[in-house]
Chain A
Amino acid sequence: MPLEAKDLSFRYKKSRWILDRVHLELQPGQVLGISGPSGCGKSTLARILAGYEKPLAGGVTLGGRPLPQKGFNPVQLISQHPEKAVNPRWRMHRTLNEGFRPDDIVLSSLGIEKKWLKRWPNELSGGELQRFCLARALGPQTRFVIADEISTMLDPVTQAQIWSVLLDSVKKRNMGLLAISHDKNLLMRISSMIIIWEDMMMGS
């Protein structure tokens, strides 16, 4: 059941075309890296693939069918700003269990401590919040994970821990992973294939 983007075109309001007839295919079990300069549309592509934005032309299909509009989305996006992705008026345990109940093994492998569950989001650091965002994205129905600069603001130890957990679950459950990052060295370590943005423009 591959995740396919066909002929994606997108622009914000009247600006230049950010995405112009982009094709992309992601197989289950595949780890694909995307790198490119700032503002070239990496994040926009991520949001469209996860169904957060509607493309102006083209479409995203999962196994030949469009993404489901209702229910748990099998394509989960993890964003660059975990502090924006959690409700500031919810304690962490509600945020964590919003879609499903992640098991304790995942929580402990991510280094989420029990006492954090009772805290408010502003009592945790960005790295700690990102672990929660990761845990809640790895649901039983998740088929593809779009990781948009998820480790940019983290220290190297946390970065390594988060990526190893993510890669483990992806491999174990045969999910597809799209990793977007500025850090080409990181992408070389984790992905089986890397797209440098200029290549994409030519329709790779």
Chain B
Amino acid sequence: MNTSLTARMPYPVMAFIPTLNRRQQTLLLMAMAAVVVGVMIAAGILLDNDRIATHFDQRNLAPSWNHLFGTDWLGRDMFTRTAKGLTVSIGIGMIASLASVVIAMILGLASATLGKTVDSAVSWLVDLFLGVPHLVALILIAFVMGGGAKGVIVGVACTHWPSLTRLIRAEVLQIRFSEYVHVSKHMGRSRVFIAVRHVMPHLAPQFLVGILLLFPHAILHEASITFLGFGLSPHQPAIGVILSESMKYLATGMWWLAFFPGLSLLVIVRSMDIIGDHLRQLTDPHSAHE
């Protein structure tokens, strides 16, 4: 007993640092991400618009306690701009990823249950959308919609459903022809019962994790097409706008213009990504003991 314990803990100091299991890690991460997102949204809503008005007496200031992220060439407070930009981006990302996942759910379910014709039609659509680089498709759609938040949301929603659709179709097919669904049918259970009790529980995690994993994509794409000039208008304090504008001033040594907004974006995107991954593993009973 004693020997095995010491063998497992070569460094006695390590015993004082609590080792967290996956559930605890995920909860901790979710709490931290919630705080970061909460602060950003609160700041974006509460901070005065006066702080992003032009102040020529406070131009090009480096980060300080008064201006956490510094100020830009027009004297606008970068922290306020970042917070407001991220709030807009998070909103757009949420709507776009939710729409995308809903599309994927509907098409995936339809192709798995409505027969061969529907299945091949949906598969053709999936192949079509996967065949085009989705940034190109996104730019085209956003451009046709005339740019702005609407164009970005429709663009992201229309380009991000295919891979999840495939996943859901495969999952539903596998469950429909599984042994336990056969058994359920022969136990006298109805199609509705099988759909609700056997199939849906397998899809709920896909749905949640799908939203969480698509969300960072949506934000990044929103930022990138805005950066390229096809997305939100330059008046809006979006992250993509901030980043693309800062490009012109980076060479003059004003590193804070891109660094802090970029870092904030990265932190939010990455934490969503990690939470999504953790949740996927947690909701799968097969990895419940890892």
User: Is B285 positioned at the interface, with any CB of A under 8 Å from its CB?
Assistant: yes
Interface residues of B in 196-239 (CB under 8 A from A): 198, 201-202
CA distance A33 to B188 in the complex (A): 27
Q: How many A-B contacts are there with CB distance less than 8 Å?
A: 50
A89 on the interface (CB 8 Å rule)? yes
Q: Which of A51, A76, A79, A88 contacts B285 (CB 8 A)?
A: A88
- Per the CB 8 Å criterion, the residue count for chain B at the interface is 16
Q: Which residue of B lies closest to A77 (CB)?
A: B186
Output the nearest chain A residue to B287 by Cβ-Cβ distance. A122
Residue of B nearest to A89 (CB): B201
A52 neighbours in B (Cβ, 8 Å):
182, 186
B180 near A86 with CB under 8 A, answer yes
Q: Are B187 and A98 in contact (CB under 8 A)?
A: yes
Question: Within the assembled complex, what's the spacing in Å between the Cα atoms of A52 and B188?
Answer: 13
A139 (CB) vs chain B CBs: closest residue: B187
A140 to chain B, nearest CB (A): 12
* Interface pair A73/B189, CB less than 8 Å apart: no
Report Cα–Cα, A19/B217, bound state, in Å.
53
CB closest residue in chain B, given A69: B185
Residue of A with least CB distance to B190? A70
A84 contacts B285, CB within 8 Å?
A: no
Cβ–Cβ < 8 Å partners of A86 in chain B = 180
Task: Contact check, B187 vs A99: say whether CB atoms are below 8 A apart.
Answer: yes
CB distance from A48 to the nearest CB of B (A): 13
Q: Does B13 contact A (CB under 8 A)?
A: no
Q: Does A85 contact B (CB under 8 A)?
A: yes
B288 near A122: Cβ-Cβ < 8 Å: yes
- Does B180 lie within 8 Å of A87, measured CB to CB? yes
Question: Across the interface, which residues of B come within 8 angstroms of A87, CB to CB?
Answer: 180, 198, 201
- Identify the closest chain A residue to B205 (Cβ): A89
Per-position 1/0 for A63-105, Cβ under 8 A of B: 0000000111100110101001111111000010011000000
User: Which residues of the other chain, A, contact B183 by a CB distance below 8 angstroms?
Assistant: 77, 85, 98, 136
Secondary structure of the B contact surface, majority rule: helix
Please pick, from B178, B186, B187, B198, the residue contacting A84 in the complex, using a CB distance under 8 A. Answer: B178
Q: A89-B201, A89-B202 are in contact. Are A79 and B186 (CB under 8 A)?
A: no
Does chain B have a CB within 8 A of A50?
Answer: yes
Q: Out of B178, B188, B286, which one reaches A122, CB within 8 Å? A: B286
The answer to whether A73 and B188 touch across the interface, beta carbons within 8 angstroms, is yes
Could you tell me if A136 and B198 are in contact, using CB atoms closer than 8 angstroms?
no
Task: Let me know if A197 is at the binding interface, CB within 8 A.
Answer: no
Asked whether A116 is an interface residue with its Cβ less than 8 Å from the other chain, the reply is no
What's the Cα separation between A16 and B91 when bound, in Å? 59
Which among B178, B179, B286 has the highest number of chain A CB atoms within 10 Å? B179
A84 touches B180 (CB 8 A): yes
- Chain A residues, CB < 8 A from B286: 88, 122
Q: Does B49 contact A (CB under 8 A)?
A: no
Most buried by B among A71, A79, A87: A87
Within 8 Å of chain A (Cβ to Cβ): is B184? yes
- Cα A52 to Cα B183 in complex, Å, equals 9
- CA A70 to CA B190, docked complex, whole Å: 8
* Interface check A163, CB cutoff 8 A: no
Contact residues in A for B288 (Cβ distance below 8 Å): 120, 122
Residues of A with C-beta under 8 A to B187: 72-73, 98-99, 136, 139
Please name 16 further chain A to chain B contacts, defined as beta carbons within 8 Å, in addition to the given A77-B183, A88-B285, sorted by A numbering.
Answer: A52-B182, A72-B187, A77-B186, A84-B179, A84-B180, A86-B180, A87-B198, A89-B285, A90-B201, A98-B183, A98-B184, A99-B188, A99-B189, A122-B288, A136-B183, A136-B187
A contact residues vs B (CB 8 Å cutoff): 50-52, 70-73, 76-77, 79, 81, 84-90, 95, 98-99, 120-122, 136, 139
| Interchain residue pairs with CB less than 8 A apart (19) | A52-B182, A52-B186, A70-B188, A72-B188, A79-B179, A84-B178, A84-B180, A85-B183, A87-B180, A87-B201, A88-B286, A89-B201, A89-B285, A95-B180, A98-B184, A99-B187, A120-B288, A122-B288, A136-B187
Which 10 pairs between the two chains have the least Cβ-Cβ distance?
A99-B187, A72-B188, A73-B186, A84-B179, A71-B188, A85-B179, A87-B180, A89-B201, A120-B285, A98-B187
